[in-house]
Amino acid sequence: MPRPAVRAGRMRALILPLLGTVALATACTDGGDPGDAVPSTAPPASAPAPAPTTPTDQPSPSASTPATIPASAFVELPTELRKSPRRATPVADALPTLCGNEFGTGGRQVTASAAMTVTYKKPDEPASNVPQGMIHQTIFSFDGDGASDYMRRLRSALAACPSYDQAGNRVKVEVKALPGVGDEALVLTRTWPATSLNGERVGGTESVQTAAARVGAAVTVFDDQGWEGSSGNPGILDRVVRDGVKTIDVWQR
């Protein structure tokens, strides 16, 4: 009676390769989360600032793809204030540094960042005159609660920096809330003794302002720099910040 044993051996010879094929297919499909193979677009938490993204005129991608900051999200100066067209600027160069890297703490939830610079003049001066100053605007886009977390960390960092030394001068820092701008906003004023181009004290003080505002899942920072170390223009900065927040709100819709 050897036939049943022969048939059983043949069946095992057929079944074992099939089981091996099934096991191999399972190992290929269940080897891990497919998302692990996709590189993260957010910078490491230890990075001082997110990598800059060049502004483009392309629309923002869907939420399933890495975000970009379009040029249309940035404010443009009105003609009477515009000294020169806005230009793309590295994020690291656009953000101010006080006691430390207060404004470069985007963290892992940043999906994109970009910056532009606008150069302004007084509205009643001809275009041939030297500029009055320039404003660097940076935009961060975030995942989740990243924008709110950025503002919270920024307030904490600024509270720990009431003053700092710069080029041998003591710079005083004053921070205030900026009501009615975006979802939340603040403005800080930096004041220092006025000096000549040679660094000599000439009496009086100079000051510039920096504003940060959250608009939904984005944060924008405006840093006003007076021309050649002179004071900025608080009135122009306030106008630019409010116009800039409206521009970002339109972009996010």
Q: Are residues 145 and 27 in the same domain?
A: no
Percent residues over pLDDT 90 in the chain: 57
Q: Are residues 18 and 106 in the same domain?
A: no
Does position 250 have pLDDT exceeding 50, yes or no?
yes
**What range defines the domain where residue 30 resides?**
1-38
Residues 6+ apart with CB under 8 A from 112: 41, 50, 53, 66, 67, 68, 69, 140, 141
Q: Are residues 140 and 96 in the same domain?
A: yes
Q: Are residues 99 and 29 in the same domain?
A: no
247: three-class secondary structure by DSSP = helix
Q: Which residue has the tokens 């940060």?
A: 212
Q: DSSP character for 106? A: -
pLDDT tens sequence across 95-106: 999 999 999 867
Does position 134 have pLDDT exceeding 80, yes or no?
yes
pLDDT for position 13: 40
Instruction: Give strand pairing partners of 175.
Output: 188
Q: Are residues 143 and 60 in the same domain?
A: yes
Q: Are residues 79 and 32 in the same domain?
A: no
16: three-class secondary structure by DSSP = helix
Q: Are residues 186 and 99 in the same domain?
A: yes
Q: How many domains does the chain have?
A: 2
pLDDT for position 90: 95
149: three-class secondary structure by DSSP = helix
22 Cα distance to chain centroid: 48
The CATH number assigned to the domain holding 184 equals 3.40.1000
Q: Are residues 142 and 48 in the same domain?
A: yes
Q: Are residues 88 and 5 in the same domain?
A: no
Question: Which band of pLDDT confidence, cut at 50, 70 and 90, is reported for residue 65?
Answer: very low
pLDDT for position 126: 83
pLDDT tens sequence across 137-155: 999 999 999 999 999 999 9
What average pLDDT does the segment 19-47 reach? 35
Q: Are residues 163 and 217 in the same domain?
A: yes
pLDDT tens sequence across 198-231: 777 888 999 999 999 999 999 999 999 988 878 9
What average pLDDT does the segment 119-133 reach? 88
Q: Are residues 110 and 10 in the same domain?
A: no
Higher-confidence position of 43 and 149 = 149
Q: Are residues 8 and 73 in the same domain?
A: no
